[in-house]
Amino acid sequence: MIGELNIYSCYSFQNSTILIQDLCKRAKELHMEALALTDINNMYGAIEFSNACHHYDIKPIFGMQGDVLIDQEVYPFLFYAKDQIGYHDLMKICSDINLSERKAIELERLSLYREHLFILSGCKEGIVERLVLKELESEALKYIALFKKMFKDNYYICIQDHHLKMQSFLNERLKALATLQEVKVCASNEVRYLYPQDAIAVDLMQASIHGEKIDRNYKVQTNQMYLKDAYEMSLLFDREIIENTNDLLRRCNVTIETNQMHLPHYPLPENVTSQNYLQQLCIVGLKKRFKGKEVPRTYIERLKKELKVIAKMGFNDYFLIVFDYVRFAKTHDIQVGPGRGSAAGSLVSYVLGITNIDPLKYDLLFERFLNEERVSMPDIDIDFQDDKRDEVVKYVTEKYGQEHVGQIVTFATYGPKVALRDLGKVVSVPLPKLEMMSKYIPTQGKNRKTVKEVYESSYAFASMVNQEEMLRKILPAIYLVEHLPRNISMHAAGVVLSGDCLNEVVPLTKGPNQNVLTQYSKNYIESVGLLKMDFLGLKNLTVISDILKNIEKYEGVHLNLNTIPLNDEKTFKMLSNGDTLGVFQLESPGMKNLFRKLKPSSIEDIGAANALYRPGPMSQIPHYIARKFHQEKVEYPHDDLKDILKSTYGIIIYQEQLMQVAQKIAGFSLAKADILRQATSKKTLGLMESMKEEFISGALKNGYEKNQAEYIFGLIEKFADYGFNKAHAIAYGLIGYQLAYLKANYPLSFYGAILSNEQNSDVHKMEYIAEAKKYQIRILPPSINYSEHYFKQVEGDLRFSLLAIKNVGQAGYLAIVEERQKNGLFKDIFDFVSRMEGKKITSLMLESLIDAGAFDEFGLNRATLKANLEKITEYAHLKNMIGIDEPPILEIIKENKMVRLELEKKAIGVYLTQHPLAYMKQKINQPILAVANLNEYVSKNVRVLLSLLRVKVIVDKKGNEMCFIEGFDETGNVEGVVFSSTYQRYKTLLEKNKIVCIEGKMNYRDKLSLVVQNVKEVNEV
């Protein structure tokens, strides 16, 4: 056989271990000419498969195992696209199956596609196969005759041979029945793994999803479903069957079209072109930006140039579509970000109101965004406030039609921890042990490791594995499975628009929330000519929206962020103090430390900080700061680059600067300079070499020495690795500035909004409440009568939200508010319980409300209320039943203050009335620093009182135990390291939940850390 007819890839989730790149590489090794991908009811891998096949010079054949509805029962068949029309038919069938209620296509509908598809009975669960195995051959023959009549010579019967007794019987009968109806028989190997030893992995995944167990006596039914070469297949099947298979493989000829655009058209007034309409909108928008003043010539020329490129590349409609949905958001009280990515470098975007950054003011380049010499789809990503993003998606869907709008699939990979857990459970390894083992597997950033790497490098992990015989046996399967996709999900931001019906261009499916998704992921959408736009939900924009509403509601000021001063002294003073908690992208300890040194005085400084505070350019931070304050001489690679690098003190920070350098030195157009930038950042060696020659040649023509040109090109190569997009840095710097401005000038509204948006995060609540106190803002306890679903402003303070209390859900909260509005405030605990009986208030919720202090206003302590709850609820029930009106006498309980505080923290996530550590600090006669102030003591000795939240013991390079800790006080959290010699002295004191006094030295590398030197119990202090 020249190839394999029936291959299931990893996209047939839990049915195969085959990654597509590995498949094509192995097929090449086996000298195969053709491969057919037949995933179950999906085409997720089609484009990836096509690309990989072409890379290895293998013919791709596009197929699918699809479910067909016959007499109200569902049966699988194999479908193959004969030609281009057949490929489009296959996409439609795939979409029909996934979007239908029965997850199948009706036989009659399938017959409409018969001309351009091959239809095969070739699955063991197929209707013909099942009837034969039930020895109902006459019925099977009827269906074969029906399929032959429907699909003519495009109908085949496909057989497999995996050395199974049942299969041998089935194959003989199928061949006999096929002969009676003159149906051709072909063969496949139903490939589900690349090598025989991988068979166990498929069985383990199947057992996992069905909740089954495998014991030590388990053996795979067959290990023959691997990718076999032509010789192996020739030993299994007759020559005629082999020839039929080869003939079928040869007759399938499809090339996925990748050069066609399927852009939608923006609905226009009659007799108006999209080019003219866009031009008129831009002219009006430009005048609005200058508010009646004369528009500078540079802006007019830049606008003309951009519009010319946009028209030439055919993107007029695209800009109109984006303009339209951004306008919708802005006119429907939905906050929109000032820009994101390179789109902020476009003047057209700015005058249309798509972005809010003046590209000429900040020296941003259109060519970084849209380059006529590098033809690709434009990419305007828009940030919307996250709680209203879906409104914009809904608007676009309704405007262009459900058939033309979809969201994008993503794939959740098993990963090492899930693979270990899922497969370990199948062989009966206890879950707690699996969880313990997974803690040895790092999964973040540079430290991430595979299960194999951990097994080979960690003695403790390997010992735990070796204690479990079956786990050790299935370890190779886990190595395979951890790299496979486990299930689909929906891309958080991507939305696809198409001028044609989407199912004409891409197969569709339904996501976890029943959204229509494209089956091609974001990496392949653009290649089939579809327009992908990112509608990103940004929580900070929701916070800004809430702050503005608070300012208007409580302070009577209607604030327009577009008109706030960008040089506010109060704002920059706050930033220079590192007071950036809650400020977008500026609140990490490292950024706080940077801002204290940088003393920002402009949006450009904030953008530069965002660009510099990353691995790579971080080494330039000391030079940038020193040069800003004239402590270091500003030097330029060449005097001619002074105008380009002046704003960043001679340091190349931005990609746009690289482009301008190439333009200045080598005479490159900005479009060509952008191609150079991309080639150097992606290390495209061939292109880099040719462009280096062009660069040096251009530099020589412009009068530069060869060694100067080579030196400057070397700088471009170096900085291309981590040069940052200036348009993005400035746009996100502006969001940061806006939040900082609101915090500095309207702190009460700021903290009210940010706490309301962080109600479910105990850590963030604690940080924000601690910091609000610095602004003399008190957080009042929750009140059953006065609290709302948000942190409400009350005469300069904030009232704690009811929804921020554990066990108080939306339904319970609404019930309380409805009763409050209908029948007035609650008079006491008896009144509350009697009025709320039977209204979604559970006993758990009632206890949480008590512990949170929501009933403190009624004068009884919390311990008394909880101890008498049974009496109170019994009274409420009798009052509602028979009208008893005399409340019972309650037993008064003396309250333990520490117990009360712990229950309060459990209920609301923070110590609100008083922190136990604050209480202890009052009893200690030594200076104790607050955790919140530790960032001011870098490289200095400190003493802190901490409650230990986490103690992680590890073994250092010398084999000695040391540990990492995390602890907190009433002002915040801090992490620390205890080296081996110190740990040996104090290991008995370093236990989770213990309160200890720690002395040490503050250190800062990537983050703030306390190097522990001395540990004491509180009573010792």
Residue 838, number of CB atoms within 10 A of its CB: 9
Q: How far apart are CA 891 and CA 864, in angstroms?
A: 7
Which of 1.25.40.10, 3.40.50.150, 2.30.30.90, 3.20.20.140 is the CATH number of 3-191+227-251? Answer: 3.20.20.140
- Residue 269 CB-density burial (10 A; 0-12 exposed, 13-18 middle, 19+ buried): exposed
pLDDT of residue 689: 85
According to DSSP, the β-strands at 995-1004 and 941-955 are antiparallel
DSSP conformational letter for 800: P
* Rama region for 485: left / alpha / beta (φ>0; ψ in -120 to 50; rest): beta
Any alpha helices (H) in 111-261, and if so which ranges? 127-133, 137-151, 165-180, 199-209, 230-234, 239-251
- What's the token pair of residue 17? 């271990």
Secondary structure, 3-state, 860-874: CCHHHHHHCHHHHHH
Average pLDDT, the chain: 93
916-1017 has which fold?
OB fold (Dihydrolipoamide Acetyltransferase, E2P) (2.40.50)
Q: Do the beta carbons of residue 80 and residue 36 sit within 8 Å?
A: yes
In degrees, to the nearest 5, what angle opens at C-alpha 1010 toward C-alphas 1006 and 1011?
105
Share of the chain above pLDDT 90, in %: 80
Residue partners of 1018: CB distance under 8 A and separation at least 6: 920, 924, 945, 995, 996, 997
Residue 21 scores a pLDDT above 90:
yes
Residues in the chain: 1021
Can you tell me the distance from the alpha carbon of 253 to that of 60, in angstroms, rounded to the nearest whole number?
8
Amino acid letter, residue 836: M
The model's pLDDT over 386-431, given as tens digits with 9 standing for 90+, comes to: 999 999 999 999 999 989 999 999 999 999 999 999 999 999 999 9
User: Under 8 Å CB-to-CB from 979, ≥6 apart: which residues?
Assistant: 956, 962, 1011, 1012
Bridge-based pairing state of the strands 3-7 and 34-37: parallel
pLDDT tens digits along 681-727: 777 777 888 889 999 999 999 999 999 999 999 888 888 777 899 99
d(CA 96, CA 516) in angstroms, rounded, equals: 12
Cβ atoms of 740 and 601 within 8 Å: the answer is: no
| Helix pair angle (316-331, 297-312), 10° resolution | 120
User: In this structure, what token pair is assigned to residue 348?
Assistant: 């057209």
518: amino acid identity, one letter = T
Instruction: Read off the pLDDT of residues 459-472 as tens digits, 9 standing for 90 and up.
Output: 989 999 999 999 99
- Cα three-residue angle 639-645-646, rounded to 5 degrees: 90
What pLDDT score does 379 carry? 82
pLDDT at residue 971 in the model: 78
Asked if residue 1021 has pLDDT above 70, the reply is no
Token digits for 860? 């009884």
Could you tell me which of 883, 873, 802 has the C-alpha nearest to residue 842? 873
In this structure, what token pair is assigned to residue 847? 């206890």
DSSP letter string over 816-841?
HHHHHHHH----SHHHHHHHHTTSS-
Dihedral angle of Cα 670, 673, 679, 683, to the nearest 10 degrees = -140
Exposure letters 843-866 (e unless 16+ CB within 10 A, then b): eebbbbbbbbbbbbebebbbbbbe
What is the full DSSP assignment across 646-693?
GGGTT---BHHHHHHHHHHHH---HHHHHHHHHHHHTT-HHHHHHHHH
Q: Which amino acid is at 108?
A: E
What is the predicted pLDDT for the residue at 1006? Answer: 65
- Compute the average pLDDT of residues 187-196: 97
Note the pLDDT of residue 1020.
62
Indicate the pLDDT class of residue 790, thresholds 50, 70 and 90. Answer: very high
For 34-92, where are the E strands, in sequence order?
34-37, 59-70, 73-81
Which is it for strands 155-159 and 792-794: parallel, antiparallel or unpaired? Answer: unpaired
Q: Where are the domains of the chain?
A: 3-191+227-251, 274-410+490-540, 758-908, 916-1017
